[in-house]
Structure 1
Amino acid sequence: MLRSLVAATALFATSATAIAQDASAPGTQTIEGIVAVVNDDAISFSDVRQRARLLLLSLGGQQPTQEQIQQLTTQALEQLIDEKLQLQEAAEYEVEVSDGDIANTIEGMARQSGITREELLGSLIQSGINPVSLEDQARADIAWRRIMGGLYGSRIRISQNQIDDQLERMRASSQQTQYQLSEIFLFAPTEEERAQAFTAAESITTQVQAGAPFELAAERFSSAPTAATGGDMGWVTIEDLDETRASIIREMDGPGLTAPITTDEGVYIMLVRNKRDPAEQTSTVDLTRITVNDGSEAALLEAVGRIGSCAEIDSVVDADENLRAVALTDVNVNELGPEGRAMVTATDLGRATDIFAQSGTLAVMFVCDRRDNVDDLPTAEQIEDRLFAQQLGMISQRSLRNLRRDATIIRR
């Protein structure tokens, strides 16, 4: 670890009680040394200590070990560096965040916890945390989201093909064993960073095992796009994961937390929340059966050729006494028998099946509507929102990494 972080750890104290008691009065600012400078903006030991206390509180306030304090301090400094860069970018683009914006954000956080804003701020003060630390964090987060939304929000286009492809993958996944997973990902592209990330992941794992909410840990620490939803990945199959994680998840007996998993990109902590066997997918369809009275295949083919959609069936059939149409609604495809099910399943919406024998004559089925009854399939709008958020999240992470790369960051 960096010398500055070791020094910051020493200032931080060695237990949750000491952390809480070693707080500056909320209305004052302690004059202390500088732990880092980000493009001429200083970060003090006091800033790091306050943020580390905030991180500890957000993880449930368990009494940390010395090693966990060191990891919290490391994470606190990295967060503060990111926030300095975000606020500097906000100044560059003249993005302003008002006190009212911050108050509304904190009020929303309090509401989610079932308390008032005043009660939330009071709990911070009682825990030895200056509310300014939370307000600064909210200011940077709001500003950064506005910058990313303004620069890239209008450029992201989610096509209908992307939505359809995602929905089709979800339908296919429902026919395989699925795992309900959550993740925490610590981005660490170099070997040295991966070693540090692994140690940090061990600390986070210990905190979660001691009762800290996994969702809060993901929101605070994860670099994955799922951090915005507390690490929730939803229901996924083994094939959706890289081989390293897949092999570990596959061997787990049931719900639980994995040990840190090292990959080429960084370190993962996976939470297996549930597992389910392949679902029996049932489709409900609306069909229209057209038969030809004289049994003429040519006549039936000619009629089918004149029908461009289900809406045109009645007009074509009414104009030809040799044809008859019967509407069949809310038909479970599993009740059609093996041949009928295969035929209807293979037919596109609005199109006709192959010709088949029906009560001494010939017939076709038009598939006019299809509804897949699979649990947990989101709507098209939900898929679009999810894909948009994922793309914007990846752009946001890449932009922040670029800012770090180009910045002058001096750790003391």
Structure 2
Amino acid sequence: MNLNKLLASALLGLSLSHSVFAAPVEIDKVVGIVNQGVILKSEVDTIVNRVKLQAKEQKQELPSDETLRIQAMERLVNQALMMQLAGRMGLEISDSQLDQTLVGMAKEQGGSIADLRRTIEASGESFQVYREEIRKEITTQQVMRANVDRRIYISPQEVDNLLKIMESQGQNTEEYDIGHILVDIPNNATADEIASAKTRADKVIEFLQEGKEFKRIAISSSSGSKALEGGQLGWMSINEMPSLFAEAVKGAKKEAIVGPLRSGAGFHIIKVQDIRGRQVVETTEVRSRHILINPSIILSEEKARNMLNGFAKDLRAGKADFGELAKEYSEDPGSALKGGEYDWTDPTTYVPAFRDTLLSLDKNEISDPFRTKFGWHIIQLLDTRVADKTELAKRNRAHGMLFNRKFKEESFNWQQEMREQAHVEIFPLDQ
């Protein structure tokens, strides 16, 4: 072996020896335990980096990284608890459900799924990781809905009472864009701890009254579920808010700072960011009648279609009566005895083929045969009208307000109960 080969062999051996004893490279680190699951440092970093990127795009100041990490940890603990519950419930979000959600998100941003992917990857994130985070968000929403909905009951009397209150207040058309900061109080807090929390809440109000940015203060100071979103609760009416908020916000002006309001959770600070009204609700309704023939082993698709073609021809020529044909031949038990007639209906409640055919007709016009999942139809548009649905909308709105109020209160209670029953350990992120 010549000298060059000897040197090459020695260098290779040295290189291999060095690689064997090289210092280990940290890939990830466990920063929390939630029952049998773990929270990784990379998950915390992902949330913090996303909040920072959004803040940079919106030219918004942020609190310290330590504060952001604490908020991110809280979110991940709650998410882990709900994902574990989803597993016990057997709840899974399929790829097709996930894709439908992503397509909807892309459309809201005025683009396609490919555009959404480019935007995510341009920010430095993996689109696959983003997809799985959206899957988790959908899952946790469904878990919460399934567990909280059954704790809520709204009686017709409650709806009636709320409608009367809304009318007496004259404020049933007002909605408020609400910002929220919660300065929490520990369970079984001492008098000193309560006083300390009150002092912090007063200081937050002082900052806000000096003109400090609400979202930044919320991210750094709030213990509420929307802290990382800058405390934004969104639009809601007086009757949609938790009772504690409603009494304080009622009659407040835009930009008003309300609080601190004491509850079992701590001290709440509310900002009325904007106020808006609501308009009259009108819907186009249609009155129609139809004949349904359902193909079978005896009656083929072609024969069913031809049968209806013959009916349509006779009806247009005035040789037959629509109601009599419907009573004799229609296989729709809900309308046949009434001559095939449907009363005034919002056409969007019909299946797409039925709706689209109906809306393409002029008054009294009879359609050609068309197919839906129920069978073959011909349909006649009898009339259209614009209906004032304001009262129905008010009633539906009142029910929704009561539901939203109770859902917020019950979801908070449910999450607290779930957290108290769980084993949660949080490790210092810098250990």
The question of 1:157 aligning with 2:160 is answered: no
What SS does the corresponding residue of 2:57 show, helix, strand or coil? coil
Q: CA deviation at 1:97?
A: 1.6
Map of 2:227 onto structure 1: 221
Of 111-120 and 399-408, deviating more is: 111-120
CA RMSD of aligned residues (A): 4.8
* 8 Å Cα contact 1:201-1:267 kept in structure 2: no
Match of 1:35 in 2: 31
- CA–CA separation in structure 2 for the residues paired with 1:173 and 1:102: 43
Find the aligned partners of 1:272 and 1:257 in 2 and give their Cα distance.
5
Q: Post-superposition shift, 1:164?
A: 0.6
Match among 123, 129, 132 for residue 127 of structure 1:
123
Q: CA-to-partner distance for each residue in 1:240-279, whole Å, 9 max, x for gaps?
A: 6569955xx87x7x522638846343344433245699xx
Q: Distance in 1 between matches of 2:421 and 2:399?
A: 33
Contact 2:159 2:399 survives alignment (8 Å): yes
SS in 2 for 1:231: strand
Q: Is the 8 A contact 2:201 2:269 kept in 1?
A: no
Alpha-carbon deviation of 1:163? 0.6
Aligned pairs (5 A) from 1:9-408: 31-58=27-54, 61-62=57-58, 67-131=63-127, 134-151=130-147, 153=149, 156-174=152-170, 180-186=176-182, 188-190=184-186, 195=197, 208=214, 220-221=226-227, 230-235=233-238, 245=248, 254-256=253-255, 258=257, 261=260, 263-264=262-263, 265-273=265-273, 378-408=393-423
CA contact (8 A) 1:51 1:133 kept: no
Q: Could you list the per-position Cα deviations for residues 78-111 of structure 1 after superposition, in whole angstroms to 9, with x for gaps in the alignment?
A: 1111111111001111111223323322333333
Distance in 1 of aligned mates of 2:202 and 2:102: 31
Sequence identity percentage: 21
Give the 3 Å change call, closer, same or farther, for CA 408–106 of structure 1 in structure 2.
same
Cα distance in structure 2, aligned partners of 1:71 and 1:40? 26
Q: Is the 8 A contact 1:50 1:133 kept in 2?
A: no
Which whole-Å deviations, capped at 9, do the CAs of 1:101-144 have from their partners, x for residues lacking one?
A: 23322333333333333323332332233445543443333223
Separation in 1, partners of 2:241, 2:178: 14
Distance 2:242 2:91 in 1: 42
Task: Report how many aligned residue pairs link the two structures.
Answer: 275
User: Which segment is superposed worse, 43-52 or 235-244?
Assistant: 235-244
CA contact 1:185–1:222 (8 Å) conserved in 2: no
The separation in 1 between residues aligned to 2:259 and 2:124, in whole angstroms, is 31
Unaligned runs of 5+ in 1: 1-29, 213-217, 278-372
Tell whether the 8 Å contact from 2:151 to 2:410 is kept in structure 1 after alignment.
Answer: no
Code of the aligned partner of 1:255: K
Q: Is the 8 A contact 2:35 2:422 kept in 1?
A: yes
Instruction: Describe the SS at the equivalent of 1:118.
Output: helix
3-state SS in 1 of match to 2:153 = coil
Secondary structure of the corresponding residue to residue 390 of structure 1: helix
Q: Distance in 2 between matches of 1:245 and 1:219?
A: 21
- Report the structure number with the largest CA radius of gyration: 2
Specify the SS of the correspondent of 2:90.
Answer: coil
TM-score by length of 1: 0.52
Residues 361-388 of structure 1, C-alpha deviations (whole Å, 9 max, x = no match): xxxxxxxxxxxx9x99952122223323
Gaps of 5+ in 2: 1-25, 219-223, 278-387
Q: Structure 2: which amino acid aligns with 1:37?
A: I
Task: Provide closer, same or farther for how the CA distance between residues 76 and 102 of structure 1 changes in structure 2, counting only shifts above 3 A.
Answer: farther
Change in Cα spacing, 1:262 to 1:242, as seen in structure 2 (3 Å) is closer
For 1:146, the aligned partner's letter is: Q
> For 1:225-254, what per-residue CA distance to the aligned partner results, in whole angstroms no more than 9, with x for missing partners?
x97xx43232579996569955xx87x7x5
Change (3 A) 1:111 1:387: farther
